[in-house]
């Protein structure tokens, strides 16, 4: 995904990596860099004690279920929630419209 402040790339086959590039980086340091998941990310201390250690589908699904069950038990708010989903749809609509109009489109903001 590209924006005015930089770019971000995610490859589902490399779950433990996120590629980022920032528009305001110095020219001699401009370019893509890889951020590795590890013990500093949520639940990372339990699953990935070393940064860059491979993640698998089961790791991701286990965390999703853990968060889902916490929300059902009432110990934690569900996330993402309906408001998050609505905002994602607004963003997707703006992306589609921008592709048709070839201009930047504003994303309406969600209200509290």
And the tokens for 78? 């569900």
Asked if residue 74 lies in contact with residue 42, where contact means CB atoms within 8 angstroms, the answer is no
- The string over 6-43, giving b where at least 16 C-beta atoms fall within 10 Å of a residue's C-beta and e elsewhere, is eeeeeeeeeebbeeeeeeeeeeeeeeeeeeebbeeeee
pTM exceeds cut of 0.75: no
Helix H or strand E encompassing 91: helix 82-101
Q: Mean pLDDT throughout 69-88?
A: 88
Instruction: Provide Rg for the chain, Cα atoms.
Output: 18
Per-residue confidence (pLDDT) for residue 50, from 0 to 100:
81
Asked if residue 10 lies in contact with residue 19, where contact means CB atoms within 8 angstroms, the answer is yes
Report the alpha-carbon distance of residue 37 to residue 96 in Å, rounded.
31
pLDDT digits (tens, 9 = 90+) for 6-51: 999 999 888 888 999 999 999 998 999 999 888 888 888 888 788 8
């Amino acid at each position: 995904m590209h924006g005015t402040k930089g770019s971000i790339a995610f490859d589902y086959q490399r779950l433990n990596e996120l590629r980022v590039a920032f528009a305001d980086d110095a020219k001699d340091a401009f370019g893509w860099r890889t951020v590795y998941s590890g013990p500093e990310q949520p639940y990372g201390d339990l699953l990935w004690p070393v940064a860059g250690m491979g993640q698998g589908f089961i790791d991701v699904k286990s965390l999703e279920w853990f968060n889902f069950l916490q929300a059902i038990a009432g110990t934690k708010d569900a996330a993402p929630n309906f408001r998050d989903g609505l905002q994602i749809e607004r963003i997707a609509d703006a992306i589609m419209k921008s592709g048709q109009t070839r201009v930047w489109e504003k994303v309406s903001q969600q209200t509290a």
